[in-house]
Amino acid sequence: MRSVFKRSECLCASLIVGLVPEVFAEGFVEDSHANVQFRNYYFNDDYHEGANDRREWAQGFLLNLKSGFTPGAIGFALEGQGLAAIRLDSSPEHANTGLLPVNSDGHAASEFSSFGLTGKVKYKDVMFSQGTSELKIPVLVTNDGRVLPQTVTGSQVEYKGVEGLYIQAGHLEQEKLRNSSDNQDFTPTGYVGAEGADFDFAGGRYSLDKQLSVSYYYGEMKDFYSQAFFGLNHKLNIGSVSLTSDLRYFSSNKAGSAWAGNIDADMFSGLWTLGYGNHALGLGYQKVTGDTSLPYINGGSVYSFTNANVGKFVQANEHTTMLRYDYDFVGMGLPGLSFMARYYKAGGGEYKGRAASEWERDSALKYVVQSGTLKGLGIEYKGATFRTDYSANHDDNRFYLTYDLAIW
């Protein structure tokens, strides 16, 4: 396998040499750090309509290199991200889990890798960046649910000059899917045409106090769709009990040439979570209104509590309720062990002109080693049962082993 790490080291070394003496100024090297995350993922999606189940096993490596900022009124910094994965088990009959690219002959690639570089410039409370990133804002959420994350490339600017206020904006040119080495233009999920586009966004959040914050974002995929987001988050503490309210509203419309056709979808999403000690009980309700489903980027996630293991519950006019329970076993003397269970029930939806309903049951059990030689090793199981009357049913099982290693 071609080592992405060796290529990234050579590239970073070349950049450092080329930027002397600024690179070796105080702060750039002293505040730098690097780490590599190891991810071992096994996925098994079992279908119930006679189709072969999808199952694959892969090992991922995520190298992150970050410098500090050079001193002075204007500071410069560099970041590098090397991503690589190797196939441990796959066959043409059971490929397409999203872990690995699939070749034209139906076989999953034995390995794939990529490298992304980001330059940053900071002046007072403003920072400009150009390059590769993982972005998680309400109107664009990159997906990190497989062995390697989805990334985007473009320019961004951030401002933090007012206490409690954070503002950001950006122009993104391309995305790289989680099972790909190549960048491509943005398209909406489900779109099969030849056209692609850039993605622009602007927005931010403001914390009125420690309990209440509001947010607004606007995003537009040129000639496809536009989307506005309004959010409110509030936490109420009454003695040892807390109630967190997370309210989100999306308004989506077609933009420009509308290559994907009409877009008309508003969505309200609310999650209320009651916390007591090591227990948390959540109740969620979501409603989509309009002629189409909620749009989002190809391969991406949805900024909603309904972004479940299998389903997303964003079909036209669909309404969804969710019940969730979390428990931290530190209360039983087992720090590092946690459990989650949730249930979704949706109805009233429309998919390609017919009624659509679905439900999903998810669970997760995770343990992170707290001390000793293996401190930081994460072991997790996720299971899902998904049933629908407009798509394929799933029984989904996933096993994860993760470990972060600091290089310096």
Q: Please give the torsion angle defined by the CA atoms of residues 319, 207, 153 and 27, in that order, rounded to the nearest 10 degrees.
A: -150
pLDDT in tens, 81-94: 999 999 999 999 99
With a pLDDT cut of 90, the percent of the chain lying above it is 89
Comparing CA positions, the residue from 99, 80, 87 lying closest to residue 7 is: 80
Q: How far apart are CA 53 and CA 34, in angstroms?
A: 38
User: pLDDT at position 21, please?
Assistant: 52
Which CA distances in Å does 326 have to 23, 340, 362? Answer: 46, 4, 12
Q: How far apart are CA 402 and CA 144, in angstroms?
A: 13
User: pLDDT at position 391, please?
Assistant: 87
Which CA distances in Å does 198 have to 120, 140, 187, 213? Answer: 21, 12, 9, 30
User: pLDDT at position 261, please?
Assistant: 95
Average pLDDT over residues 194-221: 97
DSSP-assigned states of every residue in 26-77: TTTTTT-EEEEEEEEEEEEEEESSSPPPEEEEEEEEEEEEE--PPSSSEEEE
Phi and psi angles of residue 15, each rounded to the nearest 5 degrees, phi first: -65, -40
Instruction: State the chain's mean pLDDT as an integer.
Output: 93
Average pLDDT over residues 26-40: 93
User: pLDDT at position 52, please?
Assistant: 78
The model's confidence at residue 134, banded by pLDDT at 50, 70 and 90, is very high
pLDDT in tens, 370-401: 999 999 999 999 999 999 999 889 999 999 99
pLDDT in tens, 336-359: 999 999 999 999 999 988 999 999
Average pLDDT over residues 300-314: 96
Please give the residue that has the higher pLDDT: either 47 or 369. 369
Average pLDDT over residues 239-259: 97
Residues 6+ apart with CB under 8 A from 167: 158, 159, 160, 203, 204
Is the pLDDT at 17 greater than 60, yes or no? no
Q: How far apart are CA 89 and CA 58, in angstroms?
A: 7
Is the pLDDT at 15 greater than 70, yes or no? no
Average pLDDT over residues 241-245: 98
Average pLDDT over residues 94-99: 94
Is the pLDDT at 100 greater than 80, yes or no? yes
Average pLDDT over residues 269-284: 98
Cβ neighbours around 395 below 10 Å, total = 16
Q: How far apart are CA 324 and CA 328, in angstroms?
A: 14
Cβ neighbours around 314 below 10 Å, total = 25
Residue 373 Cα to chain centre, angstroms: 30
Q: Please give the torsion angle defined by the CA atoms of residues 134, 71, 35 and 364, in that order, rounded to the nearest 10 degrees.
A: -40
